[in-house]
Chain A
Amino acid sequence: MGKIVFGGAMSHVLDPDYYQAACGDIGRQKVTAAMDAIAKMGDRFADRRADALIVVADDHMNAFSFNCVPAICVRIGRKVQRMVQDEAEAFDKVLDHMPLEYPLHEALANSILEQGLRSGFDLALSWEAPVDHAFLSPVNTLLGKRPIPPLVPIFVNAFIAPQPTARRCFEFGQHIARVVGGSSWNAGIIATGGLSHFPELLLSRVGETDTVFDRKLIHWMETGEHESLLDLTADELHKTGSHEFLNWMVLLGAITPARAEVRYFGELPRINLAAVEWRLS
């Protein structure tokens, strides 16, 4: 019987230079503290010797263009490539120093995909989609210089309306837990992005966050009140800049009813940085 042996979620632009440029010294200081907390989460992940690491994140119009935007897509195949952007700027530049290729856990990815389609999840699949900072900044921060285990990247359409619902993302996470539970593999799972930033995806609102909303989400995760999260609407997530919480909803479905422990929460004008880990039995 396989098991989910680690659950974590974290912001996904983990780069001191980025936040120095965006927010000054306080930005560097806070993202460094967040990265330290995530690296300590990585110690615990490594102790559990997972066979695979499932990474639930969103694309930023790097892997998918407007020719197709899948609601939920399982990256299959043997390897996945880092997104390459010439003359990269802003959050794309975070990737520059990272390895170009990563192994995939092909059998677990195929199981999530095939069993998902058999049980009513109309999942997309890709052999080619590269992964951007949303996947690789957390993975590399979590693991540091340790070997990176085979990944299972899961893309969630967090940004391009209409997105999948919070409830559907949670249900998909429950599906992941069933697949892992029926397999012979132990897996870790992380969700990335957030917390509140870029409300309404408007340039004029870059620099605003909704800390009250974030604290409500954190409270529900700490107390394991996942039912309260199922009815989050697209409009709420959009207005509060919580689009990427859909990734977290997948994770919550996979680990429910476990309770969260906040490892780091830091407010910046640009974003509320967070690192959260779940107590799994």
Chain B
Amino acid sequence: MSRYAINTLLYNLKKDRALRARFIKDPRAAIADADLTDAERAAFIAGDMKTINELGGYLHLVMSVPKIGTHGGH
């Protein structure tokens, strides 16, 4: 588990609109170069924010990445 790698990717998805667009189109390809474990990569590809959070993804990023994040209940 890499708290740094997960959160850097979440941060970049939030702040880099082009990366976000590539991720929405093809998540596997968009994060191919990211330094993630298999479990982390699978969670991102599945868009499984709950698992990403449990693996160390910072809650406020998990909740606020546009078009990808979950607002946590709404």
Contacts and interface: CB of A to CB of B under 8 A. Distances in A.
Contacts of B14: 61, 85
Interface string B45-74: 000011001100011111110110111111
Contacts of B4: 66
Given A61-B60, A201-B58, A202-B53, A21 B8 contact: no
Interface in A29-62: 60-61
A65 B67 CA distance: 20
A248 interface: no
Given A203-B49, A203-B70, A66 B62 contact: no
A279 B55 CA distance: 44
A85 B49 CA distance: 20
Given A61-B7, A61-B58, A87 B71 contact: no
Given A22-B74, A90-B63, A92-B64, A65 B58 contact: no
Contacts of B17: 86-87
B23 interface: no
A89 B64 contact: yes
A204 B50 contact: yes
A141 to B, nearest CB: 20
A160 B71 contact: no
B20 to A, nearest CB: 8
Interface string B1-33: 000100110010011010000000000000000
A203 B66 contact: no
A239 to B, nearest CB: 14
B11 A89 contact: no
Given A61-B14, A86-B17, 19 more contacts: A60-B64, A61-B7, A61-B61, A65-B11, A65-B15, A85-B66, A89-B67, A90-B63, A91-B63, A159-B58, A198-B59, A202-B53, A202-B54, A202-B59, A203-B53, A203-B70, A204-B53, A206-B73, A207-B72
Contacts, number: 76
A92 B69 CA distance: 12
A206 B66 contact: no
Contacts of B71: 21-22, 89-90
Contacts of A160: 58
15 contacts: A21-B74, A61-B11, A61-B61, A87-B67, A88-B64, A90-B63, A90-B69, A90-B71, A160-B58, A202-B53, A204-B50, A206-B59, A206-B63, A206-B72, A207-B73
Range class of the B interface residue count: 20 to 34
B64 A66 contact: no
Interface string A66-92: 100000000000000000011111111
Contacts of B72: 22, 203, 206-207, 270
A160 B6 CA distance: 14
Given A86-B17, A86-B66, A88-B66, A22 B73 contact: yes
Listed residue (A66, A88, A201, A207) with the most chain B CB atoms within 10 angstroms of its CB: A66
A203 B64 contact: no
Contacts of A88: 64, 66
